[in-house]
Each structure stands twice: as structure tokens, then as C-alpha cells.
A and B are shown apart, each in its own frame.
Chain A
Amino acid sequence: MSPDGKASQSGSAAVEAQRVTKIFGGGDDQVVALDDVSVQIGENEFFTLLGPSGCGKTTLLRLIAGFEHPTDGRILLGGEDISPLPPFQRPVNTVFQNYALFPHMTVGGNIGFGLEMLNKSKQEVDDAVTEMLRLVRMEELRNRRTSQLSGGQQQRVALARALAPKPRVLLLDEPLSALDLKLRKEMQIELKRLQNETGITFVFVTHDQEEALTMSDRIAVMKEGAILQIGAPRDIYDHPSDRFVAHFIGETNFLEAELLERKNGAAKVKFPSGAVLPASLPDAPISPGKVSVVVRPEHSRIATTKKDAVLSGTLENVVYFGTDTHFHFRLNDGAQFIVRMQNARDSGDDFTPGQELGIAVEADAVQVLRD
């Protein structure tokens, strides 16, 4: 298992999946939706499951919520095995992807539903609904039918409904995917605020890497039913341990290099050009020899001196992006390489396609991938 920061150190995680496997169907058309997944999610953490469609994100959420049962493994909540509990006995609430608001109830009726089912008094339910409506800033719409709400408003009601019973864990299955870009940005901020104010653990599912990077405390990157890497957004972005993770998150350059024998701790890689640079290693054991490494485009620049140049190639294309410029290179060994540099005031178009140029790479920017 990957080292995953604070959760593994603190005694009991808010939610924990222990070697969970989920297989749907049987015989020839069985689908392994989750394959031996282990993860610990800490109290009060904003934890994101990130991965492409069909990688098992929803399945993991549904296992935590209790709508599905693991084929193998256990789900723990606050250190206790909740496997035998049906969904209505788990202190976990879900914000469904399509919101799933009750069409036959008002906004207030929807938000109060959970507390009502917990047999709270009418007064308590009313007060909680009022508080929730204030929290999501929808006080005026209490008696509206849910069918008369806009997408963003429905989204807020769904959030308020799931938060009202003060669950230990809130599960959110791509809650923002149905919103347009502007609303989505607003709701991202809103969600962060709600999580801070309520102190509830959020398990958030998305396939949008930017959303994951901006919102999460930690991210688990998933692929085909397995978790490839868990870490803080910065870790995942700067030090992807896997080709898939590097590819899925942000733009990146893949290079071939040679991992040298380690001398007193620090790893070094040697590029075909002969340049040797320090490199970060993935958490998996890796032996010296041919390796793949990644360098983020913004961690490289066009070399000004011969000494700086780690790589060299032909400039093929220059794309201006306002705040920065992308330089597309064809390296001498045929690989593609993109350099991203911020546009300074005075930087002109000093570089023109066709030029032979050297590329410099920042210190600590080379990440070795496990293979």
C-alpha cells in the first residue's frame, strides 16, 4: 500500500476499505469492478476518487453507502466493521449524481426527510431545515417543488438534504458534472466552504482532474478497479508514480533515461545526451537500468547556456496562451517534448519554429515511474 499521510498514522480512519474486491455478475460476463482496494480516509478530510469512466469509483461509494456488498474484504467506519448494516443504519449520506430529489416533496420536505426518518421531533426537523437552507443560501425556496428548481439549486438541495442528518461521512458521486462551467466553479468553492463549516468527511468522486486538484486534501487515482496512487494534489501532480497517473493528471513529457546506481541515498538518472540529473523515485522498489521518467512542461525551460541544456531538439510549434507559451519540441531521439514558460513583459518571439535549441530542466523535476 502507498504511504498515505495523516490517515494511516491516526488510530481510526473515518472510513477504511480493507482489501475490498467487488465482482458483478458471474460466469463469462463477470465484471471485476474493484480489485483488492485498500484505502484509509481520515476524519474531516476532503478525499477524492479520481479516474476515468468505469474504473469503479461509483462502486466504491456504493459499497461505503451500503447499496452493494463487497465480494471480499471489509468496509470500516470509525474503526468498526459496517458490513452487516443496511444503508438506512449507516451514518453515511450520499449526494447522488442526478441529485435524486423526491419529486413529491417540497425543498423543505426533502431536506428534512432524513431527520424525520431518524424520528426527530417536528421542531428539531424544522430548525435543522432552516439551518441547512441558510447554509446553502436558499431560505426563500423552502416551499418550492423540487421540479421548479434550476440545476444549481437542485444541487444545493441535494447537498443540504445529505448534510442535514449530520452524517459522519458524506459521499458525493460526481455532484458537479451536470452543471455548466461557471456554476461548477461556484459550487466547487461552495463545497469546500461547506466541508470546512461542517467538519464532515467528504468522499468525492470525479473524473475531472482539475476539479480533483483544486478541491481535495488527498486524491486516490483509480484505474480498472485498482487504486494506483494516493496522495496530496501536489504529490500526485509533481511526483506521479505511474505512467497512467502522470498521463491522466495534467500535461506531461515522457522520456527514456537510465537510473544510475545509488550513492548515499539520492537517486540520479542519466539522459541519452549524457546529462545526469537528480530524480525522485516512486514508492515501489525499482532497480537501476532503463527507466521511464516524466518532466512537467512548466518544470522545464529553453536553455540559455550550453551548460544548462539537458536535452536538445528542434522547435516545431509555438502556442501562445496569454499567461504562458507552449513550445513543442521534437527531440533528437524522435520523442515529443513540451516546454511551458510564463510570458514576461518583454519576452518577444525570440524563438521561431525550425530552430535547434537546448532544453533545461529544473532541479527536482524528474520523476521516475514504476513500470
Chain B
Amino acid sequence: MSTSVPETGATAAQSAERRAVRTRWLLVSPAVVIIGCVGILPLSIILLYSLLEPAEYAGVVWTFSPEAWMGLVLERDIFDDTLGLSSAHLTIYTRSILQALFTTVLTLIFGFPTAYFIATRPAKERNIWLFLVTIPFWTNLLIRTFAIMLIVRDEGLVNHALINIGLIEKPLAILYTDVAVAIGLVYAYLPFMVLPLYASMEKLDFRLVEAGYDLYANRRRVLRRVIVPLVKPGVIAGCILVFIPSIGAYVTPRLLGGGKNMMLGNLIANQFGTSRNWPLGSAMALALMGLVMIALVIYVRNVTAAGQKSHG
């Protein structure tokens, strides 16, 4: 008699818990399905393809081969079949990394003051500035890139202006060079730097900046010793948000770089197009993803470490 009460209590609790678990699964199931269909499944296919042999006219042959992964940096000599470093690929990787680094640094240099400017406006004005920053997103990247082509081409705005003021006599060849690609990338990804920087600067307690000035730190030192350490998470987030898409950029190098100044994105696309090497393309895509993952892990580590420092 006396034991029956806690027993029914326990079973009631158990069934309630089972129901809660079922509800939880029901709620996450749409997410699981979507992630499975558009994330894990295609990735598995890509992984599988990267381990097969290319078919002659696109597609894959179902025999295992590590060739594609070796092909990331190596190439077989056409004549004697010996392996050597693929200078073509390495050039493209190097260019991609340099372009991405350059873009990151330049967007940081332009983005930091911009974000600071916006964050120090009165609250009412800030939304207007943020709105202006996001206006480019309203137009397709392709169209914006064409617009840049028009501006930097030989008869374009820039050359026209430079010739008119007499700085140069012949138009500068900007279009279809690395410079044009760099301009395009910086332009395209600047908002991705400004927005996370702004987000962390908006949270910055400007009384700390005043405290810095009060304690004899001049502008440069306040920036270095107070502002930068406090907005570091935003700086890292902005750098990652710019670096990752710009290293794999496709449209910008394709249009502004012409055919000559390929970057990783174009190289991968080529494997599925003219080069007809799906396994190599798959391996490259996965390698790029791996790189991105490493960058993200470093970011998360950094931010949580910073968070622990300031909180607990």
C-alpha cells in the first residue's frame, strides 16, 4: 500500500519523460531531414566521387583510386608518367590564398574605420548607415561585377579620368589582371567585414575608451590597447567571413580576371566542365572545405578563450 504511491509516481514521470523526448525529436526532425538531404548526402557523394576515377566524358568510373587527392598538388608527366609538383595548381592555390589574404586585410583597413564611424553615430542615425552598407546586397553580384568591369576597362571611368587630368597618357590595363580581381573582391566582401565589426563595436562600452583617454593614452594607443582587444571577436569574425568566400570566389575572378587569373573556385568549376575530372574537382572542393573548417575551429577557440578571459 505504502509502496504503490511512489511507484505510480515514477511511472508517470517516466512516461512524461518519454513523451518529452518524442516531442523533442518531432521538433528537430525537419532540421535533421534538411541537413541530411542538402548537407550530408551531397557531401558523401562528393567524398565518394573524389575516391573514384574520372570517366572519359565527364562523370566517374566506379573503381577506387587515390589519384584525385594526389592530383591536388601533383601531376603526372604526360610523357613518362612520373609524378611531379603541379605548378599550375600551386600557382592557383597561391594566388587564391594571397588574393583572399589581401582582400581580408584591405576590407579590414577600410571596414574598421567605417564600422567605428557607424557605431559612434547617435542611435537613430546608425540604422541609416547600416542600411547604406547593405544596399549592394540588393543587386546581384554578377551585375555589380559587370559594373566594375565597365569602370576599370581601358575606356572606362577610371582610365578616362586619369587621362583627362593628365596623370597618364595611355590607359592602364586594369581589367583582366589580379588588380581588377582584388578590387572586385574587396568591393564584394567589404560589407561582410563591416557588419560583424559593427556588431561588436556597438556593444563596446565607450566609457572604456574615455577611461583610456583619461589615463594618458593617445588615439593610437587607445585603439591598440583598448578598442582592438575589446572588439577582437568582431575582427576575427569579419576576417573569416571575408577570407572564406573570397578564397573560393568564382564570379569575380572569372569576369574581372578573364581566363588567365583563375582562382580556386574557377579551378574547381573547370574540373566539372572543360577538364572533365569530377574526382579531382570533388577532392579540391573537399580540401577547400577542410581549410574553412580549420579556420572556423581556430575562430571558435579564440572567441571562447577571449570570453573565458573576460567572464570567468
Query: B214: which of A93, A101, A148 is its contact (CB, 8 Å)?
Result: A93
B208 to chain A, nearest CB (A): 5
Q: Mark A72-96, 1 if CB is under 8 A from B, else 0.
A: 0000000000000011110011101
Q: Mark B207-250, 1 if CB is under 8 A from A, else 0.
A: 11011111111100100011001100000000000000000000
**Inter-chain contacts of B63 with A (CB < 8 A):** none
Find out whether the CB atom of B311 lies under 8 angstroms from the CB atom of A88: no
Main secondary structure of the interface of B (DSSP, over half): helix
Q: Is A65 an interface residue (CB 8 A)?
A: yes
Find out whether the CB atom of B210 lies under 8 angstroms from the CB atom of A87: yes
Find out whether the CB atom of A118 lies under 8 angstroms from the CB atom of B210: no
Find out whether the CB atom of A94 lies under 8 angstroms from the CB atom of B226: no
Q: Is B205 an interface residue (CB 8 A)?
A: yes
Question: A87-B210, A117-B221 given as contacts; is B229 within 8 A of A104 (CB)?
Answer: yes
Give Cα distance in the complex from A66 to B215, angstroms: 12
Q: Is B170 an interface residue (CB 8 A)?
A: no
Give Cα distance in the complex from A19 to B225, angstroms: 37
Find out whether the CB atom of B216 lies under 8 angstroms from the CB atom of A114: yes
Find out whether the CB atom of B205 lies under 8 angstroms from the CB atom of A100: yes
Find out whether the CB atom of B309 lies under 8 angstroms from the CB atom of A67: no
Give Cα distance in the complex from A161 to B217, angstroms: 14
Find out whether the CB atom of B214 lies under 8 angstroms from the CB atom of A87: yes
Find out whether the CB atom of B217 lies under 8 angstroms from the CB atom of A117: yes
**Inter-chain contacts of A86 with B (CB < 8 A):** 213, 218
Find out whether the CB atom of A88 lies under 8 angstroms from the CB atom of B214: yes
Give Cα distance in the complex from A89 to B226, angstroms: 18
Q: Is A113 an interface residue (CB 8 A)?
A: yes
Main secondary structure of the interface of A (DSSP, over half): mixed
Q: Is B8 an interface residue (CB 8 A)?
A: no
**Inter-chain contacts of B310 with A (CB < 8 A):** 103-104, 145, 147
**Inter-chain contacts of B205 with A (CB < 8 A):** 100
**Inter-chain contacts of B212 with A (CB < 8 A):** 102, 113
B279 to chain A, nearest CB (A): 48
Find out whether the CB atom of A118 lies under 8 angstroms from the CB atom of B216: yes
Give Cα distance in the complex from A98 to B206, angstroms: 12
B209, closest chain A residue (CB): A100
Within 8 A of B (CB), among A290-318: none
Give Cα distance in the complex from A186 to B252, angstroms: 66
Q: Mark A141-178, 1 if CB is under 8 A from B, else 0.
A: 00001011000000000000110010000000000000
A65 to chain B, nearest CB (A): 6
Give Cα distance in the complex from A67 to B206, angstroms: 12
Find out whether the CB atom of A88 lies under 8 angstroms from the CB atom of B216: yes
11 pairs across A/B with beta carbons < 8 Å? A87-B213, A88-B214, A88-B217, A88-B218, A94-B210, A94-B211, A94-B214, A96-B207, A102-B226, A104-B310, A145-B310
Q: A67-B213, A98-B207 are in contact. List 15 more A-B contacts (CB 8 A).
A: A86-B213, A87-B210, A87-B213, A88-B213, A88-B216, A93-B214, A94-B210, A100-B208, A102-B211, A102-B212, A104-B229, A117-B215, A117-B216, A118-B216, A148-B312
In the A-B complex, list the 8 residue pairs whose CB atoms are closest, starting with the nearest.
Answer: A114-B215, A117-B216, A100-B211, A87-B213, A100-B207, A117-B217, A104-B229, A103-B310
